[in-house]
Amino acid sequence: MLAAAVRLSLRTLEQDAPGHTVEVRVPPFAAVQCVEGPRHTRGTPPNVVEMAPRTWLLLATGRLTWAEALDDGLVSASGSRADLSGLLPLVRFQ
């Protein structure tokens, strides 16, 4: 169930922000490329975001903000375009 939630929400991110500039990794379940800009084709991408599945789902649902996740060391983000704050949350609850 956790794996499916991660994969589906990452697919939503991929659809909301199409492109190949940032690679978002949520091991061991999935990784997607998103955000418009220069396309990455070989080696380690210059813009990488990586986190645990629980952290990703908290971000995707708005239960955790991007700033909180960075401050708490829950997200590893490298590269000038590796800021997902404007794309999250993917789902908003009332």
Which residue, among 57, 67, 58, has the nearest Cα to 30 in the 3D structure? 57
The residues spanned by each domain of the chain are: 2-78
Residue 94 confidence class, pLDDT cut points 50, 70, 90: low
Tell whether the model's pLDDT for residue 38 goes beyond 90: no
How far apart CA 24 and CA 38 sit, in angstroms, is 15
Pick the CATH number of 2-78 from 3.40.50.150, 3.40.50.2300, 3.30.1050.40, 3.30.200.20: 3.30.1050.40
How far apart CA 30 and CA 37 sit, in angstroms, is 21
Predicted pLDDT at 73: 98
Predicted pLDDT at 92: 77
Tell whether the model's pLDDT for residue 1 goes beyond 70: yes
For 40-62, how does the pLDDT look when each residue is reduced to its tens digit (9 = 90+)?
677 777 899 999 999 999 999 99
